[in-house]
Amino acid sequence: MIKDIYFEKDSRRGSDGTFRWLTEEVGELARAIRKQDAAGKEEEFADVFAWLVSLASIEGVDIEQAASKYSNGCPKCRSTPCVCRETLTGKLEEE
């Protein structure tokens, strides 16, 4: 649906411009989270999602296919919930 609504407009803007809009929306989401603004969070999550899907469309990425990476749980440990743990270096390792 997002592709149907915005693809022509966003593809004229290009990946770089669309990515910049996405990052602006992420900033707005961060502000809504910090303020614990429930309505704002819902609106900004929707906006971030829409811009992400639009950017994927421009880049020729099927967002549903990309999301299927997580259809069997964590891609590393294959568990739901994830049982990986972060090391002190920030790398993930299975527990």
Residue recorded with tokens 């880049």: 59
Instruction: Pull the structure tokens for residue 79.
Output: 């568990």
2-61 homologous superfamily: MazG-like (1.10.287.1080)
| Arithmetic mean of pLDDT over the chain | 92
Can you give the pTM of this predicted structure? 0.83
Domain ranges of the chain: 2-61, 71-95
Cα distance between residue 22 and residue 2, in whole Å: 14
Taking only the tens place, the pLDDT of each residue in 56-91 is 999 999 999 999 999 999 999 999 999 998 765 666
- d(CA 24, CA 48) in angstroms, rounded, equals 9
Measured distance CA(45)–CA(42) in Å, rounded:
5
pLDDT (tens digit per residue) in 2-13: 999 999 999 999
pLDDT confidence band for 95 (50 / 70 / 90):
very low
| C-beta of residue 76 within 8 angstroms of C-beta of residue 93 | no
